Chain A
């Protein structure tokens, strides 16, 4: 079996999945993937939704995305074992070593910090790559286009400033 699906086939399938999710025979709603995070945080830290208005706001969407996430974990896991054969416990991506540094500690600290920023950012904007880019822009929503533009510019500036442009040859 081919170990990798080409981008254009992935794009076609992703569009089909999005349309199925939107349709009434599917879920009648867009795909999203960042609302479940505060929802899970509320459960993990045992916060009472009565005291935290935000938990009430994300109650339904958070649960929906939590269940979708379970499916995504299963789908990703099985594909990585049987199809792409890429399942492996690793601490550092190869390109981090080439374009940043070879310190595991540095990668883990930056992962934690960037994961934190990612969720704060998504919650401020009300969506992420799934909710704003995929679902939002497919509806022609202006809010999603503003978010998409800002993310694109910031992503490229950060990529330019944070990483080295030439790869280290150390292996």
Chain B
């Protein structure tokens, strides 16, 4: 098992961009932002599900709004490229329903969960064990799950839908999300 664990670093080192250190740095900053803003708290995610806390949607929409405009400019200038996920209707809808139920009850998502574990949350560690079994189950019965997921309907984006107005559509989308993030009223659930 140890050689397989060590091979993780070899695999990452062979990626065309970004050394192992850069990937670690990206993760480190991710952990700091998530911890420092407290969005990994149960009170923040389950609190949003109860509509008693709005920090998560405000921060998420602001980040997406800003990043969508920045990324479009970067792609245009040749500093980055898009990596679009395909539309697989069954997978997105059934997956989205299971994910939404899990997120509301767990009060975590796969990115915030580890940050919570690093803060000493034992209940989240138990949930992560559930997640590992989920990953195992999915791997073992992948052929069955594939039938739920359905065929890929391609990789449409705002750019492919609004051909000829790519920049404008992203700008409207980005600014719209930034405005939404500002007008959602700020509510915070006490985590004491």
Contact = CB atoms under 8 A, between A and B. Distances in A.
A152 B28 CA distance: 28
Describe B's contact surface by its main secondary structure.
helix
B145 A71 contact: no
Interface string B123-156: 1101111111111111110100100110000011
A12 B178 CA distance: 11
A138 B61 CA distance: 10
B157 A140 contact: yes
21 contacts: A5-B36, A11-B58, A11-B62, A19-B74, A20-B26, A33-B111, A33-B114, A37-B134, A46-B1, A67-B23, A72-B34, A84-B35, A118-B110, A119-B131, A119-B138, A120-B134, A122-B99, A134-B64, A137-B68, A143-B156, A163-B46
B96 A125 contact: yes
A122 B51 CA distance: 23
Interface string B1-38: 10011011101100111101011111111111111111
Contacts of A72: 27-28, 30-31, 34, 111, 114-115, 118
B179 interface: no
Contact of A114 (B28, B71, B122, B127): B127
Given A93-B123, A154-B97, A136 B85 contact: yes
Given A93-B42, A99-B50, A11 B134 contact: no
Interface string B39-58: 11111001111110001001
A138 B64 contact: yes
Interface in A1-50: 4-15, 17-31, 33-34, 37-47
B63 A69 contact: no
A37 B133 CA distance: 9
Contact of A132 (B11, B59, B85): B85
Given A91-B122, A121-B99, A126-B91, A79 B32 contact: yes
Contact of A163 (B50, B62, B67): B50
Interface of A: 4-15, 17-31, 33-34, 37-47, 52-55, 59-60, 63-64, 66-80, 83-84, 86-96, 99, 107-108, 110-144, 146-160, 162-163, 165
B183 interface: no
Interface residues of B, number: 137
> Which of A11, A23, A115: most chain B Cβ within 10 A?
A115
Contacts of B85: 126-127, 131-132, 136, 141, 143-144
Contacts of B66: 11-12, 15
Contact of B18 (A27, A70, A157): A27
A120 B98 contact: yes
> Which of A28, A30, A52, A71: most chain B Cβ within 10 A?
A71
B84 A23 contact: no
Contact of B63 (A11, A76, A150): A11
